[in-house]
Structure 1
Amino acid sequence: MTIRQLMSVAATVHSGQPRLAYRNQPADTWTMVTVDPVSVHYGDGGQLMRTDYDVGLDLMRALLFDTPYFDPRDSLDVEAGDDLLRARTVDVYQLPVEIADDGHLLDVKELLQLVSATSGQPMRAERAVRELDAAPTDFDANIPTPVAGVAADTAHVQVATGFDEVPMGGGRTYRPRTLFGMPDVQFLQRLRRMSGHARLSGPPGAGKTSAVLAAFGDDVLSVQGHPDLTVAALCGQYLPVPSEHGTQWQWVDGPLTRAMREGKVLLFDEINRAPKDVDDVLLPTVDQRRQLVLSDRPDLPPITAAPGFMVVATLNDLDTGIRPLSAALRRRLNIHVRVDTDYGIAAERGIDGRLLRVAQNLRTSGVDFGRQHNCDPSWYPQMADLEGAATMLEFGAQASFTALTASTDDRGRLREAAQVFASVFGEQVRPVAELGV
């Protein structure tokens, strides 16, 4: 009998050969698995070599040791291992694995291929031991529904929140994510009752707009930020209206003015694509004044926001044609939340497990790049990318990969994504699809 659980494993790669380390829970031992170099030398196809250790730090020393033959009883080996512990880190992954009755992993060859092609979370040895020491958690509830005609393969996905789905109309639903200890839609609703405002940043397709629409439904008025957006279009302007007496000019409130008058939520999508003028107009509407002066309507008194008025601005920090928000507006939109895709929710929605494995490992390497270079993470797939890739699976791996990476044009990242995709799907793909190939 076997069980499928989510557990932490550590890995390194030495001379092109990956090593995998984990805690064997029932036997309370620490295990390292790698390819036996002797079997490689004699052409046996690379037989697996498994070594058990009684102490977690011995496992880490073995994982970093120059050869796979670390001996914890040899003081010279231990001294050399300690030097490596102080100088290097290991990669830690959280993976769903098949565990046999004796506590050992069953899909080790597949896992070794995975860690040789991707990056985990870099971690120092002492912390890695604590991560591996944590008890595995049941993963059965997080196995995604297979896509028709495609064998599902779950690996390396987050655990979904478990919050109930929110209907959004048109047959669509939204699964809330955790924000400040509660569902994100619930927090946004409470923030509105407190007359607060927010900005949501993150890559395209992560669900920023969906979160706002799910939280407020018909109470949302939207405006799309773009370089040609004018203050008049945002606040209101005179527009020609046909009548029986010919064309007449009639005042029409803009979305900001309507939201203030009616006490609704203004969703300002991609606000950092709009000209800076809009920052200046928004300032008095989102501070304690909550007022808007219509410069084109000097006959009207300042508009004071009705109860329920709220501004939620979304931003994409990693695209072209964007600008920084003014410090004054950032202070007033002071609840800043980065929105990212929950791959556990993607699994519940039936996204093929192989796509989730590719996405999670690209996320790991993307976040690591940002951490190492003190910048934003490099590109990795979001929910919209995964959904597009899932619909293209019936046309083959290349079509699915093309859809998965449609939101990036970073050539280096595309090449890396192609390598990860090929390692999971077992089929080579091109960074860009070619007609006739």
Structure 2
Amino acid sequence: MATPTTNTPATSAGAAGGNVINAVSGLPRLRAGELQNQVLAVLASRTGVALDVGDIAGVLVGRSSGAIGQACDRLVGRGHAELLPSSPKQYRITPAGLREHRANPTLIPPAPQGSTARPASAARPAAPAPRPAAATSPTQPVAATARPTMPAAPARKKPTTGPVRRPNGQLYYPRLLAKRPDVDVLRDLREADVPVLLYGPPGTGKTSLIEAAFGTDLYTVPGDGDTTVGDIVGDYVPTDSGGYEFVPGPLPRAMESGGVLFIDDATLIQPKVLAVVYPAMDGRRQIILKAAAGRVVTAAPGFYVVAGHNPGVHGAVLTEALSSRFSTQVKVSSDYDLAAALGVDLRMVRAARNLATQHDSGEIGWAPQLRELLAFKRITDVLGIDTAIANLIGLAPVEDREVVHKAVCKTFARAKIQPLALGNQL
């Protein structure tokens, strides 16, 4: 096929004028997965030819090589590209990737005005292109110029309808947030670079929502009291040869790829450890990897941070420094109507609602959330309802177990049921 050129018309969302323009690069800020689609389009235009990251970057002018490399690796993980045994690394589209591109074609966006692009596999230019002859000399009077036009307002995207498939294959059922589907709101907040903090009891669906909204663009930091700076920025790991090599953590990988960093249970991480993320979130948009010879990592367009917070968990502290960096904070509670719609026994849904009311009033510290209710249904299907009831009662903390036991047994008109436990030897 013919080598792509920068004159190709752009019809993809990433090339359209509706995207937020990055003030540094002057390029549209790409939506989740959009760079992968553009890289796939470049590979598809050279079917059977191996391209390295530099070749692809020569076509997608202005996109960082780090972000393009991450996109290539993700295409390999999806089976849409293959990694060839060469140095530098080269990639080639697979039949599956070609089918994906033909089913969802994405055209290669034109290079920004004034930039110099090179075709894939062509030699790199020796020097930047000279300025246009019409450029104003410092010694010449500056002529009046027309006021620059503002970017067009983004067109309203079609709202999400129906369930959204998460990366693990499970379905997420969107809920209303600001009178719109929650996944759409989170995606819009990402485009506007407004960090969001989701808070609520464990099991209410915070992680599910984030995975549904951002898909494979997600890099996760699992937070707890033992999380270290190395868990976030990367650390040295032993190699097969007996030495050590630095492996970047989720923060620099998300920054270089323009992905989403999800800090799960952020308030369980020690504040001095979590502070390593702050320079990436403010105007600097950079971090310094001291363990990697002081390498500076700059956030690519699309980089975004979202966090989760469980207020009732022991040790969870929402510091002022953390709270102030998340302009949007959204409470997430269990959707008991969804639990009923998914087939959870209505009596258990009713008992869970009653316990949730007591929890909200401060009478008890635990109530079954959506996660426990879905587990209740699965156990009922396999082992029967009495076993499912016994298991749910056993999930309650000791200090709340009596109240939970009374509420559940009353709703199901059952006598005293012991928490699920092993019996006598057979």
Asked if these proteins are the same fold (TM beyond 0.5), I'd say yes
Distance 2:246 2:412 in 1: 58
For 1:53-98, what per-residue CA distance to the aligned partner results, in whole angstroms no more than 9, with x for missing partners?
xxxxxxxxxxxxxxxxxxxxxxxxxxxxxxxxxxxxxxxxxxxxxx
For 2:224, what is the secondary structure of its paired residue? coil
CA contact (8 A) 1:401 1:429 kept: no
What does residue 252 of structure 2 align with? 257
What does residue 230 of structure 1 align with? 228
Distance 2:280 2:216 in 1: 21
Distance 1:174 1:238 in 2: 37
Counterparts in 2 of 1:274-423, with a 5 A limit? 274-300=269-295, 302-320=296-314, 322-369=315-362, 378-393=365-380, 395-411=383-399, 413-423=400-410
Distance 2:225 2:418 in 1: 31
What does residue 214 of structure 1 align with? 212
For 2:324, what is the secondary structure of its paired residue? helix
Distance 2:362 2:294 in 1: 55
Q: Give the C-alpha shift of residue 385 in structure 1.
A: 0.5
Q: Give the C-alpha shift of residue 397 in structure 1.
A: 4.5
What does residue 165 of structure 2 align with? 167
Structure 1 residues 168 and 381, CA gap change in structure 2 (3 angstroms): same
Structure 1 residues 219 and 414, CA gap change in structure 2 (3 angstroms): same
Q: Give the C-alpha shift of residue 223 in structure 1.
A: 1.5
Q: Give the C-alpha shift of residue 187 in structure 1.
A: 0.8
Aligned AA (2:365): S
CA contact (8 A) 1:205 1:383 kept: yes
Structure 1 residues 407 and 319, CA gap change in structure 2 (3 angstroms): farther
Counterparts in 2 of 1:79-228, with a 5 A limit? 163-228=161-226
Q: Give the C-alpha shift of residue 275 in structure 1.
A: 2.2
Q: CA RMSD in A?
A: 2.2
Distance 1:299 1:362 in 2: 52
For 1:369, what is the secondary structure of its paired residue? coil
Structure 1 residues 388 and 310, CA gap change in structure 2 (3 angstroms): same
Distance 1:223 1:429 in 2: 42
CA contact (8 A) 1:238 1:249 kept: yes
Aligned AA (2:222): Q
For 1:191, what is the secondary structure of its paired residue? helix
Q: Give the C-alpha shift of residue 318 in structure 1.
A: 1.7
Structure 1 residues 258 and 212, CA gap change in structure 2 (3 angstroms): same
Aligned AA (2:389): F
Q: Give the C-alpha shift of residue 335 in structure 1.
A: 1.3
Structure 1 residues 169 and 406, CA gap change in structure 2 (3 angstroms): farther
CA contact (8 A) 1:235 1:294 kept: yes
Indicate the structure with greater strand content: 1
CA contact (8 A) 2:246 2:292 kept: no
Q: Give the C-alpha shift of residue 315 in structure 1.
A: 1.6
For 1:111-168, what per-residue CA distance to the aligned partner results, in whole angstroms no more than 9, with x for missing partners?
xxxxxxxxxxxxxxxxxxxxxxxxxxxxxxxxxxxxxxxxxxxxxxxxxxx9511112
Structure 1 residues 227 and 435, CA gap change in structure 2 (3 angstroms): same
CA contact (8 A) 2:200 2:310 kept: yes
CA contact (8 A) 2:265 2:307 kept: yes
Counterparts in 2 of 1:71-86, with a 5 A limit? none
Distance 1:163 1:355 in 2: 28
For 2:290, what is the secondary structure of its paired residue? coil
Counterparts in 2 of 1:423-434, with a 5 A limit? 423-430=410-417, 432-433=419-420
CA contact (8 A) 1:202 1:338 kept: yes
For 2:270, what is the secondary structure of its paired residue? coil
For 1:374-432, what per-residue CA distance to the aligned partner results, in whole angstroms no more than 9, with x for missing partners?
xxx73211111001112233545542223334543143x32122222122211123363
CA contact (8 A) 1:362 1:417 kept: yes
For 1:313, what is the secondary structure of its paired residue? strand
Q: Gaps (5+ residues) in structure 1?
A: 1-161, 371-376
Aligned AA (1:346): A
Q: Give the C-alpha shift of residue 354 in structure 1.
A: 1.1
Distance 1:418 1:378 in 2: 14
Aligned AA (1:305): A
Q: Gaps (5+ residues) in structure 2?
A: 1-159
Structure 1 residues 289 and 425, CA gap change in structure 2 (3 angstroms): same
Structure 1 residues 196 and 407, CA gap change in structure 2 (3 angstroms): farther
Distance 1:378 1:163 in 2: 35
What does residue 114 of structure 1 align with? none
What does residue 106 of structure 1 align with? none
Distance 2:355 2:161 in 1: 26
CA contact (8 A) 2:310 2:316 kept: no
CA contact (8 A) 2:197 2:326 kept: yes
CA contact (8 A) 1:263 1:306 kept: yes
What does residue 118 of structure 1 align with? none
Aligned AA (2:325): R
For 1:297-336, what per-residue CA distance to the aligned partner results, in whole angstroms no more than 9, with x for missing partners?
3442x3221111111111222223x231321221112211
Structure 1 residues 431 and 291, CA gap change in structure 2 (3 angstroms): farther
Distance 2:316 2:340 in 1: 34
For 1:351, what is the secondary structure of its paired residue? coil
Distance 1:247 1:341 in 2: 49
Aligned AA (1:424): T
For 1:282, what is the secondary structure of its paired residue? helix
Structure 1 residues 169 and 294, CA gap change in structure 2 (3 angstroms): closer
Structure 1 residues 362 and 240, CA gap change in structure 2 (3 angstroms): same
Runs of 4 or more, structure 1, over 6 Å off, are none
Distance 1:317 1:357 in 2: 24
